Each structure stands twice: as C-alpha cells, then as structure tokens.
Amino acid sequence: MKPSRFNYERPESLTEALELLNIASAKGLEARIMAGGQSLIPMMNYRIVKPDLVIDISRLLELDRIQTGASGGLVAGALSRHSTMERSDLVAQHFPVVPEALQHVAHLAVRNMGTIGGSLAHADPAAEWPLLVRLLDATLVVASVRGERRIAASDFFISMLTTAIERDELLTQIEFPFLPDGSGSTFDEFSRRHGDYALAGVGVCLTAHDGHVRQARVALMGVGDTPLRSPDAEAVLTGQAWSEDLMQRAVEQGCAALTPRQDLNASSDYRRHLTAVLMAQTLKTAWSRATGAAQ
Ligand SMILES: Cc1cc2nc3c(=O)[nH]c(=O)nc-3n(C[C@H](O)[C@H](O)[C@H](O)COP(=O)(O)OP(=O)(O)OC[C@H]3O[C@@H](n4cnc5c(N)ncnc54)[C@H](O)[C@@H]3O)c2cc1C
C-alpha cells in the first residue's frame, strides 16, 4: 500500500525542527518525526498512521553522538543508529549489555538505519531499547519550544506504542548513569527466527559484594504493554547471599504475577514459561559476571 498524502520537511537544526512541531501542533495537524524511518514508513504504508506532516530529522547531526556526560554517565543522542551503539567502544566499555542486546534487533540493514530515539518513541513492548533503558535506569530528555523535560525511563512508557512525549516534543538524548562497581549484566531473548521481535526477553544487572547481591535489576519485555521491571524478583535477591535456591525463588516470585498477553505467536502460559527460563539463565550469567568484576 501507499501512504496517504503528507507534507515533508527536512530541517537543518533542532531549533527549526521544534518550530515546525510547534506550528503543526498549534494548527491541530498531526506531525510525525522521521528518524530512521524503519517503523514509521511501514506504519504509513499500512495507513496505521496518516500524518499531515513528516519532519525528517536525519540532518540534525547534533543528535547523532555518543559521549560521557558532564555529570558522569553516558549520553547518546536520539539519532544514534543501532549499529553505531552496537559498535561503540565507549558503550561496550561501560554497558556491555547494550551490544549484547542489540545483536537481536532485526538485521544489519535495519540496524544501520534505525535509531535509539526512534525505537524508544515507537515504544514496541517487544523491542530491545525500551527494555535496556528500563534496566539501566536511563533518563530521556525531550525538547520543545517551551523548553526541555527530563523523564525517567520508568515514567516514559505509557502503554503499547504510547509514550510520555507530547505532540510538540522531540526526544533529543538519552542519559545512562554508570553502573556501580562490582556489577555484571546480561540480556537474552527468545524469538522464532533471529531478527524477529522477541516473544519474551529478560535483562539483568546484579551488583555483587562479599557473596551478597547488593543491588538487583531485572527487566522484562514481551510480557506486558510496556517494558517492565520485576520488583518481586528484585526484592527476593537484594541484600541476600547468592545461592541456586535464592535464584530459583527470585524466578518463581518474579514470574508468579505476570499476565502476558496471548496472541497468534504464543499463549500467555508459554510467554510466562519463556520468561522464567530466560530469567534463570540471565541471573546466573549476570552473577558470574558481577563476581568476576568484583574480584
Ligand atoms: C524488518 C524489521 C524488523 C525489525 N525488528 C526489530 C526488532 O527485532 N527489535 C526492535 O527493537 N526493533 C525492530 N525493528 C524496528 C527498528 O528497530 C526501528 O529502527 C525502530 O523501531 C524505529 O527506529 P527509527 O529510527 O527507524 O524510527 P522511525 O521509524 O523514524 O520512527 C518511529 C516512531 O518514532 C517517532 N520518532 C522517531 N524519532 C523520534 C524522536 N527523536 N523524537 C520523537 N519521536 C520520534 C516517529 O515519529 C515514529 O512515530 C524492526 C524493523 C524492521 C523494518
């Protein structure tokens, strides 16, 4: 199918892009940002979205950067491509879980075009970036002519394909605070074919101290309308001495309250089962990396 009729603008600066969004919003027009176009164009072709105006931000090179932040942590511009993040030494050094997870995003051609900002704004609950920003407690920065807002990843995802970004706002950068010393992290997912969206996925970050779990983060995808953290699994683990039994209890508690959706690809029970298997594996790997890092 072909998209419905739309106007197209390609601003040269962030200021110009925000002006265009502001004018469209004031006129009651639907404007859509186009970053990599890997989700927007198919949605337009299927007429799931029919924007009056497409604002192509591919020339906003100020949003295409990865650097350490002034107050610590890592800052990624919203226009950073998946493949750039996957290959960045800076990202791999501080957040090895990012390239580990990004290998699962589609195929190279899509990863060369798709952006972190586009994936987060698209907010597919089975996508890797939404899980990663929840796992890593990132902050998402949005801008409009009214100014800037900083949104915690935990407040960013409202429901499937819906975020806290307002109509006149653009996601500009994502801030990742560094992990505590002694942390180990990992990610794994299950999909029918490599590159497909996952049926379920789990990301884990554990901080080890003296044989105990000082801090636990467990993030889930594909089992809710948004990426989730598992407060139940985290509560079981935090402050406790690591053991196989502790890990099993965390998996049981973490999966007990899950009510994944059922669709053509998987039943609710199957998604819960996959999550439990992935959670057990990722907890073990993260612990082994955390204790390796603590030595
Ligand atoms: C065949 C195929 C397989 C895929 N498989 C996977 C997969 O396994 N896992 C996965 O995570 N993704 C997958 N994707 C999606 C891919 O990761 C996309 O790149 C991503 O979802 C959107 O990024 P984009 O830069 O292309 O955004 P676009 O398609 O340009 O935009 C997507 C949405 O975000 C909005 N948007 C974009 N940038 C901004 C911004 N800075 N501020 C505000 N709003 C913005 C747009 O208006 C639009 O609504 C797949 C895509 C394809 C085509």
> In testing the pocket of ligand 1, which one of 18, 25, 40, 45 has its CB within 8 Å of the most ligand atoms?
40
**What is the 110 CA–ligand 1 centroid distance (Å)?**
9
Tokens of 57: 């931000």
Tokens of 38: 């890997």
Do the beta carbons of residue 285 and residue 176 sit within 8 Å? no
Task: Write out pLDDT tens, residues 33-83.
Answer: 999 999 999 999 999 999 999 999 999 999 999 999 887 899 999 999 999
Confidence of residue 1 (pLDDT cuts 50, 70, 90): confident
Which amino acid is it at 227?
A: P
Q: Does residue 84 line the site of ligand 1, with CB under 6 A?
A: no
What pLDDT is attached to residue 294? 53
Q: How far apart are CA 29 and CA 37, in angstroms?
A: 20
Domains with residue ranges and CATH for the chain: 7-56 (3.30.43.10), 61-176 (3.30.465.10), 183-294 (3.30.390.50)
For the beta carbon of residue 62, count every other beta carbon within 10 angstroms: 12
Do the beta carbons of residue 88 and residue 54 sit within 8 Å? no
What pLDDT is attached to residue 286? 98
What pLDDT is attached to residue 277? 98
* Continuous H helices in 213-267: 231-237, 244-256
Under DSSP, is residue 131 helix (H, G, I), strand (E, B) or coil?
A: helix
Q: Does residue 128 line the site of ligand 1, with CB under 6 A?
A: yes
